[in-house]
Structure 1
């Protein structure tokens, strides 16, 4: 049986796809269809027979997936030749029900539909991608891999909010956590890099991209994480506020007359680095900061201060820490953010090696000093490979 999986990540106005060899992680083709439903969309595809970059009108996700299939035919590789084993779908929210990948059938679709109130911005798009793929590949097994699944090991004291318990039990208001597929991959890679058994490791993993989160991982299992019922809680992000005094919502409504929808839009899409500095591209922020831009400097300082607070909190949760792991775009590429987030933590056994930290590299690597009791690692994430691996493991 082939190990090739077509990994699909359907967003509200985009469809990202990858053909991944679950055994090796090789991705002979990747693509992205953007601006679905708009006047003009864009499709990019990179395959063994060349690259495609074209503008086109894409009415819906079915048009997007059909465009992807045409690109496989024209720019390779042929999906008929690779003999797909399955299709793996990223699904953002699995609620308390899904702690593992699951075969997609009508019952699963109904269950994920019931979870839409917990992820109204994400699950509907994920469901649309699933329905389209089921129509176009009716005879191929398809698997849902949930962002929240990795955190189903949280204990009640970690996932329960201090609200009336009936809100948790009747309405699902609790901490779920996200980026779970990334955490599963990165934790395993960190253990490999350290040449240690994952079951024996305590890790603090910092997933720092446009969306940011932290997780305390003991023996390969999540024991705490910064994102909550939604991806809004926790660290400062590209456009999300992260932790916030909940009374600010009422203040914004009372003093500025903002509606619930306007506040939700502000906190999710107009806050974070964008709100502080006017832009959410961390590379541009770094350039502005180096040029002496005060707003960019404040945004950087707030961002790193929040990370440091979570490092300290999760150190206390775990008791002992073997490694701190940085991943995702900012975590992998910003030496300045790593240094600022871990500055003055030598008493906790955390000490960076400046030359290692500032050296560029695309592979997993150690950036801490040789005598640092707590290793500091940079581990590139690969969520598509993790989805492919979990998909193949389930169908086998």
Structure 2
């Protein structure tokens, strides 16, 4: 199957700019539509235009008209061609999908900017961090706003399995550091006596087995991003040294005395209440405030249950690319059960369930009874004791289990 051609719109009144633009992108699988004013913009956007390029030498009224037409399409990227002025910046203030390039431009630079804008548009639409709930759309938009800024410290909060690692990767990928290293480290998975060595490195001879100099993760990621998962598990001694890195932008290796300058962004993540940990003297207050220059909260799956069908579709597609599966889908009752389950393991738990069903489902169309063993719920006549559920959700689940019991009793007659 041939790759899908993408539609973009060029708004200009200059024939030479239109010709230069189309020549630069002729082999990019892009279809360039042209317009001289904003009158046709709304109609073209409804037809599926995925990006709009504005000639910044257009009269101010035409520019304003075009941007106004895009007001209902905030997920459509916009590229300014020419020298940006205050009017352009004011019109697009707060947009996560804007860029600008000087004219005349190099074809390679234009192509790169278009690719990046289209990629960011796809991200905002849910190509990654799957889901169309308001919570997920807001999170993706926030990521695209924060990522390109020079903010050096970001704190991610949320329950285990909610996708904090994916958010960290996206923050790096859409930043100016995207071509530099991304180094993740799980602070809770490394013994306390080894964590500082992994973070800060050591000099040769610093301890018995230090036969050579070792550059820690901060030096390895110089110019890029360090992702510290489970930051709440870090010892107080390591917290002191981390604070120095964040404040002074330098590292001192274990056994050394000379500071090494580093330029990086630190993204920390936790499923703990760090304010509570501060109150209990388990986490430093100064480090807590230094980390949360920007704080992003990743919603648990139970708060965005409407995304579950999309996530299921995404995981099935991902898991069956090179494998065959008899799984065709879920009955309405099974899907209802999934959407009313509390998901203590969040998206990770859902993916594990789908992976099991893709290869080991007892039938092509999954029924509720196929899910009960995996969700840790026992069908019973007695009232279930769910957690994190509303009374309506609990009532629906109780009715379902009562009907399931009745179905089994009838089958046994």
Q: Which has the higher contact order (CA 8 A, sep 6+)?
A: 1
* TM norm. shorter chain > 0.5: no
* Alignment TM-score, normalising by the size of structure 2: 0.27
Q: TM-score w.r.t. structure 1 length?
A: 0.27
Structure with greater strand share of residues: 1
